[in-house]
Amino acid sequence: MPNDPTPHAQANYQVRLDWGRPGLDRLAPADVVILVQTLGLSADALTAIEAGATLPVEGLPTAALVRAAAGDAAEVLVGGIRNARAVADRVLEIQTARAARTSIALIAVGYPDGSDAETLRFAVDDLLGAGAVIAALGDLGIDHASPDAALAGEGYRALRGAARHLLSASGTGRSLTDAGRADVVQAAAARDAASVVPTLIDDAFRAD
Each residue's pLDDT tens digit, 99-151: 999 999 999 999 887 666 566 788 999 999 999 999 999 999 999 999 999 99
The answer to whether 173 and 55 are in contact (CB under 8 A) is no
Tell which residue, 98, 146, 103, has the closest CA to residue 1.
Answer: 103
C-alpha–C-alpha distance, residues 60 and 63, integer Å: 5
- Strand duo 32-36 + 104-108: pairing: parallel
Burial 129-155 (b: 16+ CB within 10 A, else e): bbbbbbbbbbeeebebbbebbbebbeb
Helix (H, G, I), strand (E, B) or coil at 158: helix
DSSP secondary structure of 8-48? TS-TT-SEEEEEHHHHHHHSPP-SEEEEE-TTTHHHHHHHH
Average pLDDT over residues 69-76: 86
pTM, two decimal places: 0.94
